[in-house]
Amino acid sequence: MGSVVSREVHIKRAPSGMPTEEDFEIVEVQIPDPGSGEVLVRNIYMSVDPYMRGHVLVGRMIDDALGKVMDGGAIGQVVASNHDAHQVGDYVSSDLGFREYFVADGSGHKTVEPGIAPLQAYLGIAGMPGHTAYSGFLTIGEPKPGETVFVSGAGGAVGSIVCQIAKIKECRVVGSTGSDEKVSWLVDELGVDSAINYKKVDDLSAELGEHCPDKIDIFFDNVGGDHLEAALYHMNRFGRIIGCGIISELNSTVPLPGPPNLVYLYTQRVKFQGFISSDYSDQLPQFYEDMGRWIKEGRVKWKETILEGIENAPKAFVGLFRGDNAGKMLVKIGPDPAI
């Protein structure tokens, strides 16, 4: 079909603290035809996730990431193929986001069958964020009916799913988020028992105590920092803390001290375990079965913030850390044939 021109998001400079749109640049590149065993994919949606700040922009930026395309989750469609497992028209998920087109050998790509949810939801509730919420909460949290669950970052892609799974498991759920709009969404639409706008609270620990009179059995932490400190004061004995993210600390320019009240881990016999979703890849079949059923039954809902055009990917990335998103942050790169 001849080479195509693709726009990509390249890392222009190392962010210091909060990233800015000027840390990135849009670059045009020529994408060759696929060779033997390769596919040409046109990306349709790309994911914007907090882990990209810590894993990509800190871990390897200084050495070899400057001037290179940024990676991230994406859903695309095969437009040319010399690969037995991927036919033209197939939808595939990959870690090759932040670009309009790419050629690759197909390894690590997973065929997506639209049907459980809209195509972009395979980057959210039916994808990595959904699996992260599902596996971490159920495996580490081991929820029991009637227990109190506190979720930080409850208005985000992972946190909002945790809240709903906790309700399905008959728990009492308290969420923390950064706006009154998100508080209303959590309580009125997702069925969370109560929610806190932490930006309006002077003493988060005292506020959390008001919302959790029976203390906390499970804390699903997406934020770290003051949220972890506040939760520690209110953990029940043999409670469980699920360490999923520390978005409050990702843009810090200096190492931050840990919570001063870690002694509560010992006195309350609290289990604290961090994880990443790939730790539980063996649970994917059960996740797809359960999540597909919950979506069909209307037991889970989701919200998306979608920016249009690859040129808005830096804006989406920076906006994620400002809390501009409600639910999953996405960039729509091209037309979605599944609509």
CA distance 268 to 289: 36
Q: From first to last of its 339 residues, what are the pLDDT tens digits of the chain?
A: 557 999 999 988 877 778 899 989 999 999 999 999 999 999 999 999 887 776 445 544 455 667 788 888 999 999 999 998 899 999 999 999 999 999 999 787 888 877 778 899 999 999 999 999 999 999 999 999 999 999 999 999 999 999 999 999 999 999 999 999 999 999 999 999 999 999 999 999 999 999 999 999 999 999 999 999 999 999 999 999 999 988 877 666 677 788 999 999 999 999 999 999 999 999 999 999 999 999 999 999 999 999 999 999 999 999 988 888 888 999 999 887 765
Q: Where would I find the H helices in the chain?
A: 51, 128-135, 141, 157-168, 180-184, 204-211, 225-233, 263-267, 284-296, 313-322
Q: What is the pLDDT of residue 202?
A: 96
End-to-end CA distance of the chain: 25
Q: What is the pLDDT of residue 59?
A: 47
Q: What is the pLDDT of residue 14?
A: 77
Q: Which of 200, 193, 157 is nearest to 175 (CA)?
A: 193
Beta strands in the chain (DSSP E): 4-11, 24-31, 39-48, 74-81, 91-94, 101-104, 110-112, 148-152, 172-177, 194-197, 216-221, 235-243, 271-274, 304-308, 328-332
Q: What is the value of pTM for the model shown?
A: 0.88
DSSP 273-317: EE--GGGGGGGHHHHHHHHHHHHHTT-----EEEEESGGGHHHHH
